[in-house]
Amino acid sequence: MKLLITGGAGFIGSNFIRYLLEKYPTDQVINLDALTYAGNLANLKDIEKNPNYRFVKGDITNKKLVSELIAELDVVVHLAAESHVDRSIMDPEAFLKTNILGTHTLLEAARENGLKRFHHVSTDEVFGSLGPNDPAFNETTPYDPRSPYSASKAASDHLVRAYFHTYGLPVTISNCSNNYGPYMFPEKLMPLFITNLLEGKKVPLYGDGLNVRDWLWVEDHCAAIDLIVRQGKIGETYCIGGNSEKTNKEITYKILELMDKGEEAIEFVKDRPGHDRRYAIDFSKIKNELGWEPRVTFAEGMQRMAEWYRNNEAWWRDIKSGEYQKYYEQQYGK
Ligand code: NAD
Ligand code: DAU
């Protein structure tokens, strides 16, 4: 198989490329990534010389580039996005450009070139916010996005479905809950808190700390995407979750315990505007139809998470200092 992975220098994309190259040593993978602040080629250092891997620096809104790349391929797995909710609240425009217009550019190129499979990686945030006793989201839950980020992802999901119904483009979509694992950018809750504690700083917990997220180890997400790409039914959506709902306070106390710190390191700060209260996912469709379920338990994942950040201090220090943005020039020249 010849695949184009968009956003492969980000957190999930880099884990997914590593997963593919290990599992399918004859597959060829092209990574198209604009290297925004969230893209980091150091995430792929161990595989950059693999002959079946090629990196292309470019933007998914560049029609000519995207069309040339897609003409060479069988499959697109689309992960490139602006992904951080707080940034979308401060400055939504980049979210609209990349998440909506960028997805549209890819869909057009896929249609023109008769692509065999387009998989769109999306989020549970498109479904809105749950109350404490509401049933978990599933594939039939109506869309109700509440942040500029989730609104832009919802728009991209609708476009992908429109290209299936209108033009017969062979698409699949997945909506996943919160991932965690190696190479997670230290602006998100878990890696921010772990690295802050390693630096001797406090951890900023929003509001009352009782918002709930469902956590999934990133390699389990990669396995689910891979299954959908190879065996998922065209035109279908699959919800992916970790069966691991936790309040942010529970996450914080677990991290404090793993890092050997006390609760005086917590700093309660102003809440995120429009902060979704709870996300939860019912993943019975992908379990029953494709035989997928999460493998890594929350306890095991948190141990691995703390260990990875302890053992990869240079990686996250380079990000926090801004040094990582020089990696492209060092490897590829100006
Ligand atoms: P990330 O922010 O870590 O990575 C995004 C990548 O996309 C970066 O490498 C960035 O350089 C690249 N990118 C951004 N704009 C681009 C553009 N215009 N052209 C080309 N590349 C561009 O994101 P992530 O957390 O790895 O998420 C990947 C995908 O999965 C996103 O679509 C996100 O919505 C979705 N998702 C994420 C989670 C999660 O918990 N992180 C959960 C569910 C779904
Ligand atoms: O649910 C899937 C989504 O999960 C993905 O689509 C997004 O791309 C990804 O960023 C993530 O969104 P969240 O907003 O849930 O993740 P974040 O790590 O930003 O926040 C997790 C929770 O922790 C949320 O309730 C806000 C809270 N939080 C976050 C930060 C950064 C804090 O209390 N303090 C913080 O400093």
Q: What is the mean pLDDT of the chain?
A: 97
Q: Is residue 313 part of a domain?
A: no
Mean pLDDT of 271-286: 98
Three-state SS at 213:
strand
Q: Is residue 265 part of a domain?
A: no
Rounded CA separation 25/251 (Å)? 37
What range defines the domain where residue 16 resides? 2-184+216-245+275-297
Which residues have a Cβ under 8 Å from the Cβ of 19 and sit 6 or more positions away? 219, 222, 223, 226
Mean pLDDT of 47-57: 97
pLDDT above 70 coverage of the chain, percent: 100
CATH number at residue 281: 3.40.50.720
In this structure, which residue's CA is closest to atom 19 in ligand 2?
188
Q: Is residue 256 part of a domain?
A: no
Residues forming a β-bridge with 171: 118
pLDDT at 329: 78
What is the pairing mode between strands 53-57 and 75-78?
A: unpaired
Mean pLDDT of 29-35: 98
Say whether pLDDT at 334 is over 90. Answer: no
Q: Is residue 311 part of a domain?
A: no
Q: Is 122 in the pocket of ligand 2 (CB under 6 A)?
A: no
Ligand nearest to the CA of 156: 1
Say whether pLDDT at 246 is over 80. Answer: yes
Q: Is 59 in the pocket of ligand 1 (CB under 6 A)?
A: yes
Q: Is residue 319 part of a domain?
A: no
Q: Is residue 334 part of a domain?
A: no
What are the catalytic residues?
A: 124-125, 149
Could you identify the atom of ligand 1 that is nearest to the CA of residue 216?
40
Q: How far is the CA of 260 from the centre of ligand 1 (A)?
A: 31
Q: Is 272 in the pocket of ligand 2 (CB under 6 A)?
A: yes
Backbone angles phi, psi at 2, to 5 degrees: -115, 115
Q: How far is the CA of 187 from the centre of ligand 2 (A)?
A: 9
Residue 71 pLDDT grade (very low, low, confident, very high; cuts 50, 70, 90)? very high
The pLDDT tens digits for 186-239 are 999 999 999 999 999 999 999 999 999 999 999 999 999 999 999 999 999 999
Q: Is residue 134 part of a domain?
A: yes
Q: Is 80 in the pocket of ligand 1 (CB under 6 A)?
A: yes
Residue 84 CA, chain-centre distance (Å), reads 10
Q: Is residue 171 part of a domain?
A: yes
Which residue among 11, 84, 178 has the greatest number of ligand 2 atoms within 8 angstroms of its CB, and so is best to mutate? 178
C-alpha distances out from residue 262 to 186, 200, 211, Å: 21, 12, 21
